[in-house]
Structure 1
């Protein structure tokens, strides 16, 4: 079984809760990513994640200004994986929670991020990656 540590991105750009919506959006543009992990200013512990969708739905649509700290709009209910997790288990966790990126943490310390793309590229024949993509792409049952 392949472990998530074999395929995860370890050079992950982060920001803090004090970073402005504008700065995070610019960071996403420059890095060509759709999410940025949020860490505390002290030890780098993961405290949340912000997605491009958070910026649009919780930020712009809620009339926050671009200089608003992202701490006001981040997703703080985190789903995380561990470094000893199998890729198959990560894909299942991502599918069950309809997420495309899974922060990998030891305790609260961010070690890296696994994306569906990482899983699909590493083994294009992996049925779990395909199932995860299919499950994540289904409309959620919430009233969002």
Structure 2
């Protein structure tokens, strides 16, 4: 199955110049843990609930003053609408991510999560393996 059949295509985005507080409120409002950061339709990064906790809350910064561009993840693993769900599960596992923005011709067109893959019965093994590999805690070397 192709990602275009599984992805969420009504994706809310933030601007890099929005505040972290605005992103957190959006996350709460739509019940997600990640918001793509876009300049127009161009994906330039993502902000996650983890980014907010580690880079703002834990540092004692004011979420009403910190801009998303100062704490977002700008290196983003992406997929494309024609990518097979098996390939997406492998990509998630390899990069230890739970969500993949779906990009076509440089523009954000959707997002797919490990949960989306798990809802497709034929992908239970791949999604389960990817999730277990994503969830392995890192160990000191």
TM-score tier after normalising by the smaller chain length? over 0.9
Task: With the length of structure 2 as denominator, give the TM-score of the two structures.
Answer: 0.93
The answer to whether the aligner puts 1:50 opposite 2:47 as a matched pair is yes
1:125 to partner: Cα distance:
5.6
1:33 to partner: Cα distance:
0.4
* RMSD, aligned CA: 1.5
Task: With the length of structure 1 as denominator, give the TM-score of the two structures.
Answer: 0.92
Separation (CA, whole Å) in 2 of partners of 1:46 and 1:119: 22
Helix, strand or coil: the match of 1:96?
A: helix
The residue aligned with 2:20 is 21
Number of residues paired by the alignment? 140
1:58 to partner: Cα distance:
1.0
Q: 1:110 aligns with which of 108, 111, 127?
A: 108
Structure 1 residues 1-144: aligned runs within 5 Å = 2-40=1-39, 43-67=40-64, 68-123=66-121, 126-141=124-139
Whether contact under 8 Å (2:103, 2:109) holds in the other structure is yes
Separation (CA, whole Å) in 2 of partners of 1:130 and 1:18: 37
Helix, strand or coil: the match of 2:119?
A: helix
Deviates more, 1:117-126 or 1:77-86: 117-126
Give CA deviations for 1:6-47 in whole Å, capped at 9, x if unaligned: 10000001111011111111111111100000001xx31000
1:59 to partner: Cα distance:
1.3
Separation (CA, whole Å) in 2 of partners of 1:142 and 1:32: 33
